[in-house]
Amino acid sequence: MFNLCFCGVQAGYAHDIDCPYPLFRGSANDEMKWETARQRENAARLMGEDAGRFAASWVFDDRTTHDQYLRVLRGIEDGDPEIMDGLPASPLSVEWAGDSLSRDILEALDVPEDDDAANGLLDRYAQYFESAARDAVYFEARRQVLPSEPYVWPGGYAVIGIMDDGETLCYECLTAVTNPVHFGGDHDGWRFEGIDTLEGHNDDDDEPVICAHCSKQIGGN
């Protein structure tokens, strides 16, 4: 069994001198140190993710519109600086937080402030905070933009997804996680543009509307 550093390099092999986690240099007697470091790393990840998801829960409210949700989705996928800069940032990056939050985190991790691993664990906390916050914001916006059921009520009208090439997708193909539906980036036929209903989309009631992916008639029996 070989030990791996947090950076992914096997202990003692081509270990970068600037690695933020220089825990091993080929010693075979560091299993306890490694296990302690692994537990601290996992704790920092969980703390950062929990805090990031909580921060993300305040991004939207009941006044957020469909267009605003869609704009956030596209901004995250496109890396739009205006959107990305508006996502929750790690409180460790805020100057007014000072050292108190860092001390609280290290205390919760049972790591002394002068420990060699302290800065690396704080960096990990910040990294997991921001990635969890970004993912939580993205999936909440996606949940709000895509329909939650195949029919709209009242009326029971079949839902249709409108894609960037003008084609339509049925509810099942639009919401299937295995399909590459996206909101920003390339106009490749899978880019989502909006929602319509069968009745609102079809000017000719006698002309069936076919899903461009599964080729089934939308709203058909």
pLDDT at 95: 53
Closest CA to 212 of 148, 161, 169: 169
Q: Give me the residues paired with residue 197 across strands.
A: 159
Do 124 and 41 touch, CB atoms closer than 8 A? Answer: yes
Q: Which of 36-40, 122-126, 132-136 has the lowest mean pLDDT?
A: 36-40
Mean pLDDT of 109-137: 92
Tokens 């992914």 -> residue? 8
E strand map for the chain: 151-152, 157-163, 168-169, 192-197
> For 71-85, how does the pLDDT look when each residue is reduced to its tens digit (9 = 90+)?
999 999 999 999 999
CB burial string 118-143: b at 16+ within 10 A, e below: bebbbbbbbebbbebbbebbbebbbe
> For 172-199, how does the pLDDT look when each residue is reduced to its tens digit (9 = 90+)?
999 999 999 999 999 999 999 999 988 7
193 phi and psi, to 5 degrees?
-115, -30
pLDDT at 9: 63
Name the strand (E) or helix (H) holding 74: helix 66-78
201 vs 113 pLDDT, higher one: 113
Who's near 118: CB < 8 A, 6+ residues apart? 106, 111, 112
pTM for this predicted structure = 0.79
Cβ atoms within 10 Å of 15's Cβ, excluding its own = 18
Per-residue pLDDT band for 157 (boundaries 50, 70, 90) equals confident
How far is 65 from 86, CA to CA, in rounded Å? Answer: 17
How far is 172 from 143, CA to CA, in rounded Å? Answer: 14
Per-residue pLDDT band for 4 (boundaries 50, 70, 90) equals low
How far is 58 from 54, CA to CA, in rounded Å? Answer: 7
The chain-wide mean pLDDT, for the chain, equals: 85
pLDDT at 1: 41
Closest CA to 176 of 133, 136, 147: 147
pLDDT at 28: 47
Per-residue pLDDT band for 17 (boundaries 50, 70, 90) equals low
pLDDT at 117: 86
How far is 88 from 137, CA to CA, in rounded Å? Answer: 9
Name the strand (E) or helix (H) holding 54: helix 31-56
- In a 3-state reduction of DSSP, which class is residue 10? strand
Mean pLDDT of 195-213: 79
Domain ranges of the chain: 31-145, 147-221
Closest CA to 124 of 46, 36, 214: 46
pLDDT at 215: 95
The answer to whether residue 6 scores a pLDDT higher than 70 is no
> For 38-51, how does the pLDDT look when each residue is reduced to its tens digit (9 = 90+)?
888 899 999 999 99
The answer to whether residue 206 scores a pLDDT higher than 80 is no
Per-residue pLDDT band for 155 (boundaries 50, 70, 90) equals confident
Per-residue pLDDT band for 31 (boundaries 50, 70, 90) equals low
